[in-house]
Amino acid sequence: MRLNSLALRLFATSAAWTLLALPLAGYIIYALYREDVQLSFDAQLKKLLTQITIDSMSTMGDEPVIPPNLYEPLFEVTQSGWYWQIRPIDGAPGRTLVSPSLANAVLPSPYDRKFPTDDTGTRWMNVPGPTGSTIRILEFIDSPGHDPDKTKYSIIVAGPMDWFEATVAKFRARLTSALSLVGLGLLAATVFQVRFGLLPLRRVERSLASIRSGQAERLEGNFPAEIEPLQAELNALIESNQDIIDRARTQVGNLAHALKTPLAVITNEAHESEGAFGEKVAEQANLMRDQISHYLDRARIAARSNTIGRVTPVEPTAEPLVRALERIHQDKGIAIDFAVQPGAKFQGEKQDLEEMLGNLLDNACKWGKSHVYLVAAVDGADTTMRRKLRITVEDDGPGLSPEQRAKIGKRGLRLDETKPGSGLGLSIVSDLASSYRGKLRLDASNHGGLKAILDLPAA
């Protein structure tokens, strides 16, 4: 997932919600469970306190009796954490009764420490027990025979908080493990959901690539309802683009035919007219014809270069040109060495690639001494196009000086009228390359002549 992708945004928002919601839910569940266990533990202490109070204080004497340890077997185990204690309050005379588990230890009284009573008249307190572990104490004040005139006794029942904390900690560990597994499962499900949900966009991407490469003319296929409007708009855009190009070609052709006859008439009249005036008119008419042809060609090129889906393989296009030019220049013994990367394709019209290659190779053959070198390969992405087709043509001729190379492409410059060695047709190549958002650069060749570097969009 890339940083600016929809997939990452969807996954990040879902993951953030999962990482926020699950811990919050876990905390709430843990708090509710802890409260429930606390209530259960307190209810057990209340039950034991009630039973001990009834058994020890339901007597007609002035002192409590020893209750039987039938309620909790751990009352019989020394320092088990479960204790009971009965002793008079406020320093009144009377005997103190304790469970066997308490032995010689004494439990502190919440009454002595001024703890308030709850709505049932009992007092609660958590303190360290005889072994140092925290115990929870529940205390009730009563008199033998429940007679308020008799000596009041503190009846205490205590239970270990270690049991409570161990129970809660065990549940917390299990809850953490369960929620962690749920969180991982949700994250995995989110990844699947994002990828599955965005699959139609991948199909759109592949379909557009097929259109761009010339394998298809429309965005076809069944897409989800949310993407159907996009499909319709893209197909409408492609059709509109083709319509505009067709109209442009028609208008260019109409203009060419409309100007052809008047220019021919002017030229013929000028040739029939004697004197300097006729020669000047004929000269300017020919110049007008050349300029009109040049700009009509540029309009034709621009229309073709904006056509979607035109793809031209480089090797089948270059090979016939190489063989033809070798035959044309066989009197000079020119040999053309060419190496084309297998599968290299130009994103554009075949006749435009032929024209660019033909001009570069013909120029190199004219000024080369014995060898011309052609290399074509697909390069990585640059700032203007995703993939780049780089075509290099070199010769071993006289080449161009840096000043001459700097003049290439200047508006209005006719390179066939410059100094020898400047080459022919390079302005045409530069115009064609620019129409495809490419560029032509000239440099010195390692073989001694001119090196032309042509960058074009690759399919």
Low-confidence winner among 25-34, 151-160, 220-229, 310-319 (lowest mean pLDDT): 220-229
Res 456: pLDDT: 92
Between residues 207 and 153, the one the model is more confident about: 153
Q: What CA–CA distance (Å, rounded) separates 421 from 363?
A: 9
Percent of the chain with pLDDT over 70: 89
- In this prediction, residues 2-8 reach a mean pLDDT of 73
pLDDT digits (tens, 9 = 90+) for 435-454: 888 899 999 988 888 999 99
What pLDDT is attached to residue 146?
83
Separation between Cα atoms, residue 13 and residue 112, nearest integer Å = 57
- Which residues, at least 6 apart from 321, have a Cβ–Cβ distance to it below 8 Å? 354, 357, 358, 361
The pLDDT value recorded for residue 381 is 53
pLDDT, average across residues 69-97: 87
DSSP letter assigned to residue 385: -
Main-chain phi, psi angles of 342, to 5 degrees: -60, 135
Q: What does the alpha-carbon distance between residue 24 and residue 123 come to, in Å, rounded to a whole number?
A: 34
How confident is the model over 76-96, as a mean pLDDT?
Answer: 90
CB neighbour list of residue 94: distance below 8 Å, 6 or more residues apart: 62, 63, 87, 88, 151, 153
- The answer on pLDDT for 153 being more than 80 is yes
What confidence tens digit (pLDDT) does each residue in 182-224 have? Answer: 999 998 988 888 888 878 888 887 888 777 666 777 888 788 8
Half-sphere exposure of 456 (CA within 13 A, CB side): 32
In 3-state terms, what secondary structure has residue 251? Answer: helix
Q: How far apart, in whole angstroms, are the C-alpha atoms of residue 36 and residue 55?
A: 29
Which of 392, 452, 445, 401 lies closest to 428 in space, CA to CA?
452
pLDDT on residue 421: 39
447 vs 336: CA distance, rounded Å: 13
Q: Which tokens is 261 given? A: 């006859």
Percent of the chain scoring above 90 in pLDDT? 34
Q: At what angle do helices 276-305 and 228-272 cross, to 10 degrees?
A: 170
In the predicted model, what is the mean pLDDT of residues 287-302? 69
Q: What is the mean pLDDT of the chain?
A: 83
Tokens in use for 22?
Answer: 């699950």
Instruction: Please state, in angstroms and as integers, the Cα–Cα distance from residue 438 to each residue in 285, 302, 367, 389, 425, following that order.
Output: 33, 12, 25, 9, 17
Average pLDDT for residues 289-314, to the nearest whole number? 68
Whether 108 shows a pLDDT value over 60: the answer reads yes
CA-CA distance, 7 to 148, in Å (whole number)? Answer: 77
* Burial class for 288, CB neighbours closer than 10 Å (0-12, 13-18, 19+): middle
pLDDT (tens digit per residue) in 383-438: 434 688 999 999 998 888 888 777 764 544 444 444 343 444 787 888 888 888 88
Least confident of 247-261, 338-352, 361-375, 411-425: 411-425
Strand duo 134-142 + 123-128: pairing: antiparallel
- Of the candidates 447, 313, 319, 306, which has an alpha carbon nearest to the alpha carbon of residue 389? 313
Residue 410 has what pLDDT?
A: 53
* pLDDT score of 412: 41
pLDDT at residue number 417: 44
What average pLDDT does the segment 246-275 reach?
76
Residue 95 has pLDDT above 70, yes or no: yes
Tokens 């309009």 correspond to: 299
Give the pairing type, strands 335-340 and 371-379: parallel
pLDDT at residue 411, as a whole number = 43
pLDDT at 363 over 80: yes
